[in-house]
Amino acid sequence: MERSNEFSVYPNQSTKHLLHILYWVIMLFFIMAITSYSFKASVFIAENVLFSSSVLFNAILIHYFVCHFVFQHIRKKRWALIIPDILAIYLLSLLITTSSLNLLRNLYPENEVITRLYQKYTVNSFGKPFDGELLLWVLSLIIWFNTFGIIIKIVKDFHESSLEKLAIAQEKNSMEISFLRAQIQPHFLFNTLNSIYGLIIHNEEASKVVIQLSNLLRFSLYDSEKEHITLKEEIEFLSNYLLLEKMRYKESRVQIEYDFGQIENKEKIIKPLILINFIENAFKHGVNATIKNAWIKLSMTEKEGLLTFHCANNNPVTATGKKNNESTGGLGLKNVRRRLELEYQTRYSLDIKETDDVYEVSLILKL
């Protein structure tokens, strides 16, 4: 997974490319210095330069293959693909190395070192690629000239990941401080709501609103601080929120449909305050930005620990008939993405689709 530019150790792409080129140039000279001992000649003789260049080419291919494929398979725990990855690396290295020996033998038939290496390591039978001596030689080239680059990549990724986690932690602390400052005695708020409820108890609709608002406040102040909550608690919170929104808007203003009944196990746990962001986004950028005929459709299912959440709403247009550019959710959805990456890592899939008429969010979580 690529880190966002915000946390990259490279100030820009040009610097990144320049540093990569510089590293491989230095690596070429290092390879030439090592292989010159095998040729028992000067570092800069043509044979050594050509063979070192082929080894460097192999090292470059392996490095980026490992960084872009093998590491991804490890992060996603696709262990069944690791053995094919290793086999592909070996066969690629074998092809490049033996091809370079064939070329060098044709160019320098009198060179005793090249002739000896060719006779020893050339592939002349089906079983030769799995010969122990050839296997060790090719693997030694891979290990010698790729280990340092892979270590640099691992350290870089760890450093960028640490910066991102630190930034998220600082942002969370800042939000918590702001939240605490804005609480203004939550017990006082609950007591006030209870007093209002006592005054309007005979008004069924008003008293229902107060109860639901009280439940939302209780969840926001206390339950949201938990590391996890059950699906039952999450559904109750979302349902209270939607009922309040239904009372806020008339049916002629917005059609709200939701189905949270297809849950196999309501005791499964989920991180709090993730799904609500998508619903708030639908109201903020869909309903509030539409004069009339707005709609929202929500569904949530859970089967065998796999939660599927779907949120769709009308994509509003401005008075001039142009699409509202704020419908993508801005900072709110960006923060949700970052939180999903941090807390669910490879155990989620987020798909956002937008047309002229509809804005859809599909989220799959492995609980």
Q: Which of the listed ranges 40-49, 207-216, 258-267 does the model predict with the highest average pLDDT? A: 258-267
pLDDT at 272: 87
Mean pLDDT of 169-187: 59
Mean pLDDT is lowest, of 105-114, 149-158, 211-220, for 211-220
pTM, to two decimals? 0.52
Burial of residue 145, with CB atoms counted within 10 A of its CB: 0-12 exposed, 13-18 middle, 19 or more buried: buried
Task: Please give the Cα distance from 227 to 347 (Å, whole number).
Answer: 17
Regarding predicted confidence, which is higher, 31 or 323?
A: 31
Tell me the mean pLDDT in the region 250-266. Answer: 88
Question: CA of 329: how far to CAs of 326, 350, 357, in Å?
Answer: 6, 14, 16
- So what's the pLDDT on residue 227? 82
pLDDT given for residue 332 in this prediction: 67
Residue 308 has a pLDDT of 97
Residue 2 has a pLDDT of 46
pLDDT given for residue 59 in this prediction:
93
Calculate what percentage of the chain has a pLDDT beyond 70. 81
The answer to whether 111 and 38 are in contact (CB under 8 A) is no
Q: What is the pLDDT of residue 180?
A: 52
User: Where, residue-wise, is CATH 3.30.565.10 in the chain?
Assistant: 228-366
pLDDT > 90: what percent of the chain?
Answer: 34
The reported pLDDT for the residue numbered 253 is 78
- The residue written with tokens 């690396």 in the block is 89
Looking at per-residue pLDDT, the higher value among 277 and 62 belongs to: 62
Q: What is the DSSP letter of 162?
A: H
Choice between 331 and 170, residue whose per-residue pLDDT is larger: 170
pLDDT top residue among 217 and 162: 162
CA distance 135 to 133: 5
- Give the pLDDT score at 152: 93
Confidence at 76, pLDDT banded by 50, 70, 90: confident
CB burial of 32-69 (b: ≥16 within 10 Å; e: otherwise) equals bebbbeebeeeeeeebbbbbbebbbebbbebbeebeee
- pLDDT at position 284 over 50: yes
* pLDDT reported for residue 283: 85
Q: Which residue has the higher pLDDT, 37 or 230?
A: 230
- pLDDT of residue 359 exceeding 70, the answer is yes
DSSP of 242-300, one letter per residue? HHHHHHHS-TTTEEEEEEEEEES-TT-EE-TTSHHHHHHHHIIIIITT-SS-EEEEEEE
**Helix ranges (DSSP H) in the chain:** 13-39, 46-65, 71-75, 82-107, 112-121, 132-183, 186-199, 204-221, 231-248, 275-282, 331-343
Residue 130: HSE in the Cβ half-sphere, 13 Å Cα cutoff: 3
Q: How confident is the model at residue 327 (pLDDT cuts 50, 70, 90)?
A: very low
CA distance 203 to 229: 33
Tokens of 216: 């939302």
Q: How confident is the model at residue 339 (pLDDT cuts 50, 70, 90)?
A: confident
Across the chain, mean pLDDT equals 82
Q: How confident is the model at residue 8 (pLDDT cuts 50, 70, 90)?
A: confident
The CATH number of 228-366, from 1.10.490.10, 1.10.4010.10, 3.40.50.300, 3.30.565.10, is: 3.30.565.10
**pLDDT tens digit sequence for 131-166:** 888 889 888 889 989 999 999 999 998 998 888 888
- Could you tell me the two tokens for 122? 């050339």
The predicted pLDDT at position 129 comes to 84
Q: What is the pLDDT of residues 308-321, one digit of tens each?
A: 999 999 887 654 45
pLDDT at 55 over 80: yes
Arithmetic mean of pLDDT, 95-121: 87
pLDDT at 182: 52
